[in-house]
Every structure is written in structure tokens, then in C-alpha cells.
A and B are shown apart, each in its own frame.
Chain A
Amino acid sequence: MLDSILFYFFGGVAVIGAALMVTRRNAIHSAVFLITTLLATAGIFLQLGAEFLFIAQIILYVGGIMVLFIFVIMLVRLDVALHHIRFRMKSLVVTIVIAVLGAEAGAIIYYARKLPGQGLFIQNMAPASNLTPNSEKLAQSLFTNYLLPFEIASVLLLVAMVGAVVMAKNKKRTEDS
């Protein structure tokens, strides 16, 4: 029972946070509610016994990406820019996006029912305490079954990082000269 209370608590916080994030006018407020949503999602991971995902979510998204987001919002002074730029609601685009997303969600729920077992909601799963430590399991599968994709992804990230550094450096040199 405790599990479901926690799940609905975190789920509710995540949904409310997401709704508030979309509706706030102030960019920093949006960022704060996005952080709330991310933390609540991390809470759901923890409640499911995925400890490593929980902490990776917090360290990467909240501690890393969101700090940079807020950094950028602070420096760019988006609230001033917002007075000049108004988001125009393109109703056709909005309708199409909502229709596509709705169809996707419906398809998932419909087809999940035909999966072996009981669809999306798996009953009688093993209790979380019986699982092997997540981090070790993750590392093992990354370095055995998924070694090639893992290496490709890391090379890609490295290229992106080096590229970003090179671009930033070039810009500085032209400014100086």
C-alpha cells in the first residue's frame, strides 16, 4: 500500500509540475517546475527499485542540465525578450501535434494489452530487495551485450564536446582580432 501511495504522490507531483511548467510566463519559474517534475520522476524510479536510474536522473538532469538551463536563462534575460516576442498559438500545428501524441498514447495502451502477461501493468513482479545492485547490472550489460553501441555513443558525445569547444574558441579569436 505504501508503494502505491508513494507512486501516486510522485506521479501527481510530476504531472502538476509539468502543467505548471508549461503555463508559467516567467522562464525561471518554468525551470523550477521542470526541476520539480524531474525530481518526482526520480522518486518514481526509486520507488520501483531502480536506484541507479534515480540518482543518474538527479545528477545528470537536475544537477547538470537544469543548472546550465538556469544559467543560460539568467544570462540571456529571457523575461525582457518576452516582452518583444509573443508566442503565437498556431492552432493547426497544435491540433496536429495533439492528435499525433494522442494516437501514440492510445496505440501503446491498445497494443500493450496484447502483450504476454497482463499488459502494461505487470503483476507479481519480484520485490525490489531481490534485485542485484542496479549499477553493477547496468555496467555488466553495457560492457558485454551493448559494448558497441556504448562505445559509439561515447565517441559521438566526445565529438560533440570537442566540436563545441572548437566552435567556442574560434568565436573568441574572431572577436579578439
Chain B
Amino acid sequence: MNPTLHAILVFLQTWWVELTSGVVIVAVVPLVAGYVVLVERKLMADMQARLGPMRVGPHGLLQPIADAVKLLIKEDIIPDEADRLIFWLAPVISMTAALTSMGAIAFGPSFQVARDINIGILFVLGVSSLGFLGIILGGWASNSHYSIMGALRSTAQLVSYETAGGLAIIAGLLLSGTLSISGIVAAQEKYHVWFIFLAPVAAFIYLVASIAETNRAPFDLPEAESELVAGYMTEYSGFRWALYFLGEYANMIVVGSIATTLFLGGWLRPFPNVHWLNWLDFLPALIIALIGVYSIYRAGKQPVMVQTGFMWAVALACFAVALIFAMPWFVGTLKFVIPGLNGAFWFLLKVSAYIYVFMWLRFTLPRYRFDQLMHLGWYILIPLAIVNVFAVGVAMLLESNGVNRWLALILTTLVTLVFAILLVRWHDRRTESASTASLAPDSYAG
């Protein structure tokens, strides 16, 4: 046989799982991001007592595709004064960083591209933080004041909150004792508890920091439309803008995955070690089937024949997926795929819950002012995160010296919380006295 062809075949034989997973990530994530946008709009509508998108497809189910087509056929404008190379490069960097960092995330025990990498969580953190290069370069290349202000704000925000988020992650890593993603999940299985219960303060700090890192409300100052039009994206239109947008939503999925892996037990189902809850393994198939039944119920209420038909199609798709999930239970030879499928289901469910919290906060809280944002990051979150790392370390030390683990953790968490309260009170008093002393504007704001 041709040696080159043979080499390629050997290569494919060795790496086909990883290659397929990579292709699936690149192909599916944009679609998922589109539907995350739809879910966000629907949730926003629900919380504001509206209906949200209803026209394109039943309940707006085809809206993401219509949006994508609109963005693709929009005119692509490059400003005259822009730096063409960087203007072209910046959105690509943003998107690539987000997609690449997904390579090391384990979406279940068997869906992971870079499986042997033993610094998985660092890889995800480091590569996803490269996305900010895209934002700064895009803001600079647009050669516009709004863009550059947005880019500067976003950099300042990134530098501040990445520190706090990284320290929060260190607290989780202290408990797991490894940097590998599957190792972290295995550690939570061994401890019989998710790390969010062992290190609640760290989980909370990571939640806040991850909202700030993904530039979402209430920390969406880089794109505050009342001040900066659209921040670093002001001069972008059409497909390039869509790339930024996809990068942002892919980043949300990435931080959600990090939090799920580190604090919410990864792909483990709730209570993985309790045997009388083993029926939870049937839950994925059941839930998807129930969604199908609900779609049939809704199908009768659609106003137009086409939409009724579409609803039936959705129901059938749900049943097909439910069948895939349920099949291995009846066919003995397929039993080995059960952990993989169920793991992916639980993992995605937890990521969705995390993203739901993101959206919930976005619709609930008003936007911060820039100096408030910086104060929150530097005066409160970072000291709290440092103290929390110490507290978790002390708790582990106490545990290894024979103190009950829960007692040690509750004590140290209480100490951290007292510290947090003192910190907030001290900071309030400081800002109060500062604001009464002088009403001069903060020169670092904006």
C-alpha cells in the first residue's frame, strides 16, 4: 500500500474519537449558541411578562436560524481608517480561543478531545483568556473612540476579575489535588460530595468572576449601550459581529463547564454513590420523552397547520433521542454507552442551570458603575478569595489531623464569611467618608 496513505490511515485509526469530537464541537457550538440566545430572549420575555419571539416557527423555535441568515447576508463594512489585517483577525481570535478551550473540557466521561492532558483545567482557563486579545485588538483596529473605550474597559475588567476567579479555582483545586479534568470529577466521586458544598465561598466568587469575565450584565460595561453604543463591537457588522457574538456565548458555555466540573460534580449524577437512587439513571430518557409529550400537547394549540406539523416534528425528534438514551438498557451489547450518554446529559443539564443563573442575574440586577465594578473586584473579591484559599487549606490540614471534615469546613467557612462581612462594612465606611469629603469624579472611572 502507498506509505503515505497507510500513515494517514494509522493516524485516523488512532485519533478518530478525538477528531470526531473536535468536528462535533466546531459544528454544534454555533448552533447551540444560537439557541442559547433564543432561550435567553424567551426567559427575558417570561420575566418581563411578554411572549418573546413567536413568529418564526412555533414559539420562535426557528428564530436562531433566521438570525443567522440575516447576519450572513448583511453588508460587511470595514471602516476606512481601520487596520484591515487586525480588524479581520480580531473576531477570529475571539471565536477560536473559545472553541479551542472546549477541546479539554470533558462533556461526559467519554466526550473529551484532549484526553491525556493532565493540566486540563489550566488549559481551559489559559486558552479561553486568549479571547480577550480578540477584544482588545478589535477595539484598537476599529479606530473609533467607542471601540477603544470598550476594549480598555474590558481589559481592565478581565485583569481584575481573572485574579479573583483564579484564586477561587485554586480553592477548588486544593480539594481535588489534581489539575486534570477527569481527576477533579473523580475526586468529587471519591469525596461523595460536590465541591460547591465543601467550598461555597469559592463557588460564589467564581460565579461573580465568571460573569465579569464573560462581559455579561450586571458587569457588561465594555458594551454598555447607553454609554458606549456597543463597546468594542461598535464598528463590526454582519458575519464578523456574529463571530464575536458566538465567541461570547461559547465563552459562557466554557465558564459554565469549568464551574460544573470544579464545583458541581461534572458529569456525575446527583448522589452518585447512593444505590437506592440508581433509578436516576433512567431520568435522562424520561425527561426527554416528557418534553416530547409536552410538544404533542402544545401541537394541538398551534394557530397554523405548518406550526402544528413542526411541533410534531419536534416531538418525534425528542422521542428519537429518548430512544437512543433508553435503547442500551434493553440491548445488552450496547450497555457500555450508558455512562457516556447519561454523563453527557447530566453535564449539559448542569451547564444549562449555570447559564440560567447568568441570565436570571442579567434580568434582575442593574448595571454597575465602572468604579463600583473595580472596587468590588479589588477591595472585596480578591482579598476574600485569598482568605478563602487559606481557609480551605487550614480546613484540609485540620482534617488530616483527625478533625471531622464537615466541622473543619463549616468553621473555616464561617471565618471567611465573617471576614467578608467586615470587608464589606469597612469598604462601605471608606466610600461613604470619601463621598462626603469630596464629590470630585473618580479619574479612573471609564
Contacts and interface: CB of A to CB of B under 8 A. Distances in A.
B159 A74 contact: no
B132 interface: yes
Given A67-B133, A70-B136, A32 B148 contact: no
A114 B64 CA distance: 65
B85 interface: yes
A112 to B, nearest CB: 30
Contact of A63 (B117, B126, B137): B126
A35 interface: yes
Interface string B127-139: 1011011001100
A135 B86 contact: no
Contacts of B133: 35, 62, 66-67, 70
Nearest to B139: A74
B122 A55 contact: yes
Interface in B93-136: 116-119, 122-123, 125-127, 129-130, 132-133, 136
B248 to A, nearest CB: 18
Interface residues of A, number: 25
Given A2-B11, A51-B117, A67 B137 contact: no
B298 to A, nearest CB: 46
A156 interface: no
B179 A67 contact: no
Chain B interface helix/strand/loop/mixed = helix
A12 B352 CA distance: 42
Contacts of B89: 32
Nearest to A59: B126
Nearest to A55: B122
Contacts of A63: 126, 129-130, 132
Given A1-B7, A59-B126, A74 B117 contact: no
Which of B11, B89, B151, B179 gathers most chain A CB within 10 Å? B179
B152 interface: yes
A67 B155 contact: yes
Contacts of B118: 51, 133-135
A55 B126 CA distance: 7
A66 B137 CA distance: 11
Contacts of B399: none
Interface in A110-136: 129, 133-135
B140 interface: yes
A26 interface: yes
Contact of B127 (A29, A58, A71): A58
A28 interface: yes
A56 B152 CA distance: 25
Given A32-B86, A129-B116, A135-B179, A74 B152 contact: yes
- Chain B, interface size category, equals 20 to 34
Contacts of A52: 119, 122
Contacts of A58: 126-127, 130
B18 interface: no
A67 B136 contact: yes
A176 to B, nearest CB: 9
A1 B10 CA distance: 11
Contact of B155 (A1, A55, A71, A134): A71
Contacts of A75: 152
Contact of B119 (A26, A70, A134): A134
Interface string A29-54: 10010010000000000000001101
Nearest to B85: A29
B80 to A, nearest CB: 16
A47 B148 CA distance: 37
Given A2-B11, A26-B83, A70-B133, A59 B155 contact: no
Contacts of A32: 86, 89, 137
Contacts of A67: 132-133, 136, 155, 158-159
A32 B132 CA distance: 13
A41 B133 CA distance: 18
Contacts of A62: 126, 130, 133
Nearest to A132: B118
Interface in B145-179: 148, 151-152, 155, 158-159, 179
A59 B7 contact: no
A59 B125 CA distance: 8
A126 B151 CA distance: 46
A28 B83 contact: yes
Contacts of B127: 58
A28 B140 contact: yes
Interface of B: 7, 11, 83, 85-86, 89, 116-119, 122-123, 125-127, 129-130, 132-133, 136-137, 140-141, 148, 151-152, 155, 158-159, 179-180
24 contacts: A26-B83, A28-B137, A29-B85, A32-B86, A55-B123, A58-B127, A58-B130, A59-B126, A62-B126, A62-B133, A63-B126, A63-B130, A66-B133, A67-B133, A71-B152, A71-B155, A74-B151, A75-B152, A129-B116, A133-B118, A133-B119, A134-B118, A135-B118, A135-B179
* 10 tightest A-B CB contacts, nearest first: A59-B126, A58-B126, A133-B118, A63-B129, A55-B122, A51-B119, A55-B126, A74-B140, A55-B119, A70-B136
